[in-house]
Amino acid sequence: MSWTDERVELLKKMWSEGQSASQIAKELGGVTRNAVIGKVHRLGLSNRAGGAAEPAKPEPKAKPEKVETKPARPAEPKVEEKPAPAAAATAKPEPAQPATPSPARRAIIPAGQPLPPQPSANEIDPAALAKVGEVEKHAKKLGLMELTERTCKWPIGDPATEDFWFCGLPSQSGKPYCEAHVGVAFQPMSSRRDRRR
DNA sequence: CCCTGATTCGC
DNA sequence: GCGAATCAGG
């Protein structure tokens, strides 16, 4: 593979979007993250600043003076780093159904919820639940696109609204979830088996 | 261990 | 110019 204009363009785009070198490499295909990084450097955009943005690093120079703003590039598009929730668009307070072709639709419950059901106060170890609650505060709130092989894919929030994201915490094992979520995801199904219900 | 970007240097 | 190997972190 070679760095065609298109590929370089995509590289620039993704890099400025804050994508990691490995992700870019994966997207491009035929190159490794090293190649991407090498190219990035050669292109001179090692700093992820499409034109100027980063808060920059406050040098040990505590100069109370006003910061000099170079008018060098006043009209820079400046690609703000947006979380880019991937799938869901920035939902507006629009309660209306977008357009459900179904003649008779019931609740807006997405039938295809491939991922584990939210723990419904079942017979799950309270400690594990507490842990999840705790962990979800630290969730990285990844969008569908941000998920990788080793990020927790536990869904959080309501898929029907914009309040939906994935845990995203590292799932170091070969598991699809982080430690906490693994805990409530698959219980050995042995914890209290004879509930003599 | 997983990951990140940065650098080097033979090609 | 290219990128694998390596380095230096998190």
Cβ–Cβ under 8 Å, residues A86 and A19: no
Q: What percent of chain A has pLDDT over 90?
A: 13
What integer pLDDT is reported at residue A35 of this predicted model? Answer: 96
Encode pLDDT of A79-126 as tens digits. Answer: 443 333 333 333 333 333 433 344 444 444 444 445 555 544 556 666
Is residue A162 included in any domain, yes or no? yes
Least confident of A38-42, A96-100, A129-133: A96-100
Q: How many Å from the CA of A41 to C1' of B2?
A: 24
Nucleotide with minimal C1' distance from the CA of A38 is: C3
A58 is a domain residue: no
Higher pLDDT, A134 or A164: A164
pLDDT (0 to 100) of residue A5: 93
Is residue A173 one of the residues assigned to a domain? Answer: yes
Is A56 among the domain residues? no
Q: Is residue A87 one of the residues assigned to a domain?
A: no
Q: Is residue A82 part of a domain?
A: no
In chain A, positions 165-184 with C-beta closer than 7 Å to nucleic chain B are 172
Model confidence at A69: pLDDT above 70? no
Instruction: List the single protein residue with the shortest CA to C1' distance from C1.
Output: A42
Q: Is the CB of A172 under 7 A from strand C?
A: no
- Is position A112 within any domain? no
Q: Which nucleotide is nearest to A1 (CA to C1')?
A: C2
Q: What is the mean pLDDT of residues A174-194?
A: 68
Residue range of the domain that includes A175 = 126-196
Q: Which of residues 114-133 of A touch strand B (CB under 7 A)?
A: none
Residue A38 in this model has a pLDDT that exceeds 90: yes
* Strand B contact nucleotides, protein CB < 7 Å: 1-8
pLDDT score at A96: 39
A162 has pLDDT over 70: yes
Token readout for A165 is 């994201």
For residue A173, name the pLDDT band (cuts at 50, 70, 90): low
**Longest CA span, chain A:** 76
The torsion angle over the Cα atoms of residues A140, A145, A149 and A153, rounded to 10 degrees, is: 50
Strand B and A150 CB separated by under 7 Å: yes
The answer on pLDDT for A13 being more than 50 is yes
Contacts of A124 (CB under 8 A, 6+ apart): A184, A187
Measured CA A7 to C1' C1 distance, in angstroms: 15
Classify residue A84 as left (phi > 0), alpha (psi -120 to 50) or beta.
left
Indicate the number of domains in chain A: 2
Q: Is residue A99 part of a domain?
A: no
Amino acid type, A7: R
